[in-house]
């Protein structure tokens, strides 16, 4: 069996590759000329890397024709919410055009494959207090250009399923983290700041943004297992929440991470880290996915946080 991972050198992509290799799957992955390879350096002998610009239809058609995958995990995206306010058009173009190019190539070449689309809980956006835990049937009220791009990705997945029978499965994944998480994202950002303070590379002050937001975190290693199950047991054309079913304020996350360190650290708000609008609460109900696939998260949040801090401590 052959699987293609778009964005294989990224955070989730690298964990997905490790998971698939353990299953004995032949792994293809896309990179761009400027991709950093540090997350997949240890896998280079075992995977097929293809340089591909997903925004370029010719590049994508060549990729799909050469790889002829049975499974596609479409993970490549501009995934950082604040960047989407600075570059809204780029975020929407990148996330939407890349996916349409994949769909069109599959359709035109008549490739029979299943496609997992990494959609997002950000799509829910504004959530009323009586709507948690959030089910897939909740209204979508997106609050960022990034969220809009993910709504578009999801509905394109549905539309290509209905119009052309493409075998898409959409996963609305809530926040996920773990070793290799990009340093912009909150858990990694805080863990890296703590590790840098411990190493004496930074004054003992941790800079933070909105600490009142509530988020539902799943370990990335549980998430890639969910993506595999989504294609193995999920129903095509359906959307599933991937979540832990528990949420914490960002302040609680901060104090959990600080509790793993012996150094004295002062907390300081950095106004540049505040957003034009922030999603107040994301707490997911993953029962639809559980009933269909048997998946449930296995790695406790505390373990994920300790592993993440250890990861940053081990970085040069």
Ligand X SMILES: Nc1nc2c(ncn2[C@@H]2O[C@H](COP(=O)(O)OP(=O)(O)O[C@H]3O[C@H](CO)[C@@H](O)[C@H](O)[C@@H]3O)[C@@H](O)[C@H]2O)c(=O)[nH]1
CB atoms within 10 A of CB 286: 27
Applying CB under 6 A, which of residues 47, 115, 250, 309 lies at the interface with ligand X? Answer: 250
CB atoms within 10 A of CB 87: 13
Q: Looking at beta carbons only, is 40 or 250 nearer to ligand X?
A: 250
Write down the least CB distance from residue 48 to ligand X, Å: 26
Applying CB under 6 A, which of residues 9, 35, 153, 189 lies at the interface with ligand X? Answer: 189
**Pairwise CA distance, residues 158 & 232, whole Å:** 18
Site string for ligand X, 63-92 (x = CB under 6 A): ----------------x-x-----------
Write down the least CB distance from residue 81 to ligand X, Å: 4
Binding region for ligand X (CB under 6 A) out of 21-29, 52-60, 117-125, 297-305:
117-125
**Pairwise CA distance, residues 13 & 315, whole Å:** 20
Q: Who contacts 24 (Cβ-Cβ below 8 Å, separation ≥6)?
A: none
Told to check if 6 binds ligand X by CB under 6 A, we report: no
Contact 219, 178 (CB under 8 A): yes
Told to check if 208 binds ligand X by CB under 6 A, we report: yes
**Pairwise CA distance, residues 102 & 10, whole Å:** 18
Binding region for ligand X (CB under 6 A) out of 88-96, 205-213, 234-242, 300-308:
205-213
Applying CB under 6 A, which of residues 62, 83, 159, 210 lies at the interface with ligand X? Answer: 210
Long-range contacts of 225-230 (CB under 8 A, 24+ apart): 225/19, 225/295, 226/171, 226/173, 226/289, 226/293, 226/295, 227/16, 227/73, 227/116, 227/118, 227/171, 228/19, 228/20, 228/23, 229/289, 229/293, 229/294, 229/295, 230/116, 230/169, 230/171, 230/289, 230/293
Applying CB under 6 A, which of residues 53, 56, 198, 278 lies at the interface with ligand X? Answer: 278
Applying CB under 6 A, which of residues 127, 186, 224, 230 lies at the interface with ligand X? Answer: 186
Applying CB under 6 A, which of residues 120, 153, 168, 239 lies at the interface with ligand X? Answer: 120
Told to check if 39 binds ligand X by CB under 6 A, we report: no
- Quick check: bond before 292 cis, omega within 30? no
Told to check if 215 binds ligand X by CB under 6 A, we report: yes
Interface with ligand X (CB under 6 A): 79, 81, 120-122, 174-175, 184-186, 189, 208-211, 213, 215, 250, 273, 275, 278, 282
């Amino acid at each position: 069996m052959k699987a293609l991972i778009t964005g294989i050198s990224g955070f989730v992509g690298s964990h997905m590759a490790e998971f698939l290799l353990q299953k004995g799957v032949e792994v293809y992955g896309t990179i761009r000329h400027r991709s950093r390879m540090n997350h997949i350096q240890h896998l280079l002998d075992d995977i097929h890397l293809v340089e591909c610009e997903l925004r370029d239809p010719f590049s994508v058609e060549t990729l799909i024709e050469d790889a002829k995958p049975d499974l596609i995990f479409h993970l490549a995206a501009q995934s950082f919410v604040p960047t989407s306010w600075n570059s809204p058009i780029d975020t929407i173009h990148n996330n939407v055009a890349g996916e349409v190019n994949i769909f069109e190539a599959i359709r035109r070449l008549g490739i029979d494959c299943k496609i997992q689309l990494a959609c997002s809980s950000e799509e829910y956006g504004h959530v009323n207090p009586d709507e948690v835990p959030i089910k897939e049937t909740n209204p979508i009220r997106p609050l960022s250009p990034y969220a809009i791009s993910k709504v578009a990705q999801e509905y394109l997945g549905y539309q290509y399923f209905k119009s052309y029978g493409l075998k898409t499965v959409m996963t609305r994944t809530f926040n996920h983290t773990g070793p290799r998480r990009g340093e912009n994202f909150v858990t990694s950002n805080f863990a890296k700041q703590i590790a840098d303070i411990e190493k004496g590379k930074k004054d003992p002050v941790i800079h933070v943004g909105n600490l009142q937001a509530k988020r539902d975190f799943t370990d990335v290693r549980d998430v890639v297992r969910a993506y595999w199950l989504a294609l193995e047991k999920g129903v095509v054309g359906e959307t599933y929440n991937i979540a832990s079913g528990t949420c914490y304020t960002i302040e609680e996350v901060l104090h959990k991470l600080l509790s793993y360190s012996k150094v004295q650290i002062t907390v300081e708000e950095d106004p540049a880290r505040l957003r034009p609008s922030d999603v107040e609460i994301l707490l997911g109900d993953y029962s639809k996915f559980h009933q269909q696939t048997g998946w449930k998260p296995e790695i406790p949040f505390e373990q994920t946080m300790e592993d993440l801090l250890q990861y940053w401590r081990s970085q040069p």
